[in-house]
Structure 1
């Protein structure tokens, strides 16, 4: 039973303390020039690799499952460490994002494949963006202004820390992003689409078994949300894969890929599985190119249950 003092549960103290630490960190990195702040993020990421043992082990386990036959143990550990460094720099850039003007952002971000959007923007229909936790995915939000895009994203709330959740949502909204919580998202997504907005949906995290379709990801079946395939087939709206990858010197490259060629045979269940599978393969192809920039700290595959003796 939680100890309660003057209406404040002890169980709420830790999340609030985490929120305060994040606020302080976010404030401090905005005071530093960009170069030193990224250095701090990289160093903190390297420190987290050594201190946050559970997440490190998840990353190493995932990397062994995905890349084990192709990489040595030393290479896998090196990739895992760089993953944490990328996450540290991503956190720094996220907190600095609201203070970044459009011109400064244009100087940091090179755009590749913008011609993909040209024909799609003419009809003002809107569409879907196939997203993943690659590079600095958060930095894509303010880049929508480059193309006059109204961008929404379906995001999971941080349920264990409502203070942090509100603050993160506020930062995203300050750079022009509409945040749609996952619960009851379908109606809001359809409304946003009818307004000509582009809706980003991430499909690279483990989905609940009862809601998932099982598709190949690095040669192993992974429970994956079918939400994007379902919505795309229902609306016939285009699905454009987009990625933000990190480059040297604090620069980034925003990459638009050709729209996904949706399979629509009339077999709803089969089509959803096929389309989710091909979207996942697009993500895998990019992750293979930038393995040290993906979110390996998330347990993407279900763990095998240990057999009883």
Structure 2
């Protein structure tokens, strides 16, 4: 009896200590990040972004997730040499560092002016789609992936008068989350944190004729079984489900990072969604189609995607079932 109570007390103390240590690590990381942000603000925009790129290319290979990125790249591009794989990984770290630094300069970076005679930092492809979505009195879904500076897409939507709510995942670090959220809200319009009830909130927006923006290239535990770069993965069904329920148009959009700290924002023609025999949107087929679109984008600019993400990690029960099935085939 005493032994059980002692073990419970020890577990409670270990849990509290671990939680406090995690909070301290979050606080310390946030302080370091804010110090770096303060230093970058002292530099001109181009100098700050180029410095962040160079620093990340040196530091990235020493980060634990670098090994995940290399493994993912080798599986995606078995035909590429080690030198080519490492070069893509280096570009990836540079892209991620630029993305982080660009939060500081979002107002200065987004200089799009349709009447300008000289090109600025931002060029837009598919202006007619932005205008059409903004003017058409019905709900729309716009999806993208973590490519280039994808954060610029909601800024562009707001510029064209598009009423859109963007779904986003707050960082685990609560100290950084507050800063990032305030930065996003000042330039990107309506934002919806990704949480348990987010799908219902998205449905309510579409029900009222609004537009939503969703990132679709992350792992989703116990999601639909799909493929990405020819490998099994789990994907969120929410976009396909909402498209079926509200029968709304779905548009792909992405940001392409260009030389000289410039960007091209593209919104493509609406997708021709796969349908069931009864004529309704095929949720599984639509979810796979989204993966195929993002894969096409990533293949065009592999260094602008987050290869360190465990996109192909399968959740526990499904992984065990697949392993058992493979053992049965081997026998």
C-alpha displacement of 1:126: 3.4
Give 1:78 deviation, angstroms. 0.6
Query: Residues of 1 paired with 2:129 and 2:112: CA distance?
Result: 23
1:164 is aligned to: 176
Sort the Cα spacing of 1:153 and 1:101 in 2 relative to 1 into closer, same or farther, 3 A.
Answer: closer
CA apart distance, 1:197: 3.6
Deviation at 1:229, TM superposition (A): 0.6
**SS at the partner of 1:9?**
helix
Any runs of at least 4 consecutive aligned residues in structure 1 with deviations exceeding 4 A, and if so which? 2-5, 98-106, 266-270, 303-308
Does the 8 Å CA contact 2:166/2:212 hold for their aligned counterparts? yes
| 2:76 is the alignment partner of 1:66 | yes
Please give the per-residue CA displacement for 1:97-152, whole angstroms capped at 9, x wherever unaligned.
14556558982111112223343333232311111001111122322233111222
Q: Which moved more, 1:38-47 or 1:269-278?
A: 269-278
In the alignment, the residues of structure 1 paired with residue 51 and residue 57 of structure 2 have an alpha-carbon distance, to the nearest angstrom, of 10
Is the contact made by 2:251 and 2:271 (CA closer than 8 Å) also made in structure 1? yes
Contact 1:49 1:84 in 2 (8 A): yes
1:205 paired residue number: 218
Aligned to 1:244: 255
SS in 2 for 1:231: helix
Question: Helix, strand or coil: the match of 2:120?
Answer: helix
Distance 1:250 1:14 in 2: 32
1:181 equivalenced with 2:193 (yes/no): yes
Distance 1:178 1:118, change over 3 A: closer
Q: Does residue 148 of the first structure (1) align with residue 184 of the second (2)?
A: no
Q: Could you tell me which of 77, 82, 87 is aligned with 2:96?
A: 87
- Equivalent-residue separation in structure 1 for 2:72 and 2:110 (angstroms): 37
Q: 1:39 Cα shift?
A: 1.3
1:77 aligns with 2:86: yes
Q: CA 1:267/1:156 → structure 2, altered by over 3 Å: closer, same or farther?
A: farther
Instruction: Give the CA deviation at 1:262.
Output: 1.6
SS of the aligned residue for 1:208 comes to coil
Higher alpha-carbon Rg: 2
Aligned counterpart in structure 2 of residue 256 of structure 1, from 246, 249, 267: 267
CA deviation map 1:49-72 (0-9, x unaligned): 2221x2110110110111123x11
Tell me what 2:122 maps to: 109
Whether the 8 Å contact between 1:2 and 1:11 is mirrored in structure 2 is no
Q: CA deviation at 1:19?
A: 1.4
Structure 2, unmatched stretches of 5+, are 1-12
Q: Does the C-alpha gap of structure 1 residues 269 and 117 become closer, same or farther in structure 2, counting only changes over 3 Å?
A: closer
TM-score by length of 2: 0.82
Distance 1:162 1:136 in 2: 22
Any gaps of 5 or more consecutive residues in structure 1? Answer: none
Distance 1:245 1:208 in 2: 28
Within-5 A mapping of 1:191-230 = 191-209=204-222, 212-230=223-241
Q: Give yes or no for contact 2:110–2:152 (8 Å, CA) kept in 1.
A: no
DSSP-derived class of the 2:103 partner: helix
Secondary structure in structure 2 of the residue aligned to 1:264: coil
Which TM-score applies when normalising by structure 1?
Answer: 0.88
- In the alignment, the residues of structure 2 paired with residue 151 and residue 219 of structure 1 have an alpha-carbon distance, to the nearest angstrom, of 33
Q: Does 1:49 align with 2:75?
A: no
Change (3 A) 1:4 1:219: closer
